[in-house]
Amino acid sequence: MKNIAIVFVLSVFVLCALVFGIGFFLTKPVNQVVHMPRGFDSVVYKGTHGSLLKAGTNEVCALLMHGVRSNRSGMVDRSLFLREHSITSLLIDLQAHGETLGDMITFGIRESHDATNGVEYLRQIEKCNKIVAIGQSLGGASALLGNGPINVDALILESVYPTIEEAVENRIEIRLGEVGRLLAPLLYWQIPLRIDSTLSELRPIDVLPNVKVPVFIISGTNDKHTKSEEAKRMYEAVRVKKQLWLVNGASHEDIFAFDTVNYKNKVLSFIKDSL
């Protein structure tokens, strides 16, 4: 019995250490120097680092926000495409990513301040008339959470999780299989302790009914991080003009790179119809 008790205690200890380690990895900052191509102007506004690609007019501007553990360089191709259609773009690093400092990744809560800063910069400094925000994964959550939704004229959300519980469950299931879902509560129960926010504050889907501008929901049919059923629920939560594009065969990846032609056509059509 004594040996069984020792094995049990050690097993619990190892499990707790594993879960804590995963939680640490999920929130660990990924700051780094970001190298941008020629033609992009460096911007720092209220601590948010970014790059501006001017299109010769500020009638329509775009705020581009990257996914988790990425940075603004991942949105370069989108900005070059938008410039071809006279849309000026501001690409920002969300906090704890790229060159914008932060203690930890917070799944959209603290990152929402950078989203707000980006909109404010485009409105007040660049004097943009209309703004569309394009948020990939974490970037989309940042447009909705905190004091959001942000003050833009159209919103494109790519592969955005509906609730933090589902986001955690899906990601741990990818790594550990079905048994991983049983461990998920041990992970998302850590979140309030780590980032000083409640789980109820990490539910982008609950914010969507408050969005008053056109919304375009995009997600891959093979996305195991944000499943198609979840994307459909996000779409159904929107109360205003909306579109849904489930990208056949795409996983949790860069949709622009996966299906460039359709991405360009659909996004440009949405922007023209919405602004």
Over the chain, what is the mean pLDDT?
93
* Vertex 170: Cα angle to 225 and 75 (nearest 5): 20
Q: CA 64 to CA 77: how far, in whole Å? A: 11
Residue 190 has pLDDT above 90, yes or no: no
The secondary element (H helix, E strand) that includes residue 154 is strand 154-158
Q: Looking at residue 239, what is its pLDDT?
A: 98
CB atoms within 10 A of CB 5: 9
For the segment 36-63, the average pLDDT, to the nearest whole number, is 98
Is residue 71 within 8 A of residue 97, CB to CB? The reply is: yes
Please tell me whether residue 128 adopts helix, strand or coil conformation: coil
According to the CATH classification, is domain 34-162+197-274 in 3.40.30.10? no
Tens-digit pLDDT profile for residues 59-101: 999 999 999 999 999 999 999 999 999 999 999 999 999 999 9
**Neighbour tally for 100: CB within 10 Å:** 24
pLDDT tens profile 108-126? 999 999 999 999 999 999 9
Which phi and psi (to 5°) does residue 119 adopt? -65, -45
Domain boundaries defined on the chain: 34-162+197-274
The tens digit of pLDDT for each residue in 223-256 reads 999 999 999 999 999 999 999 999 999 999 999 9
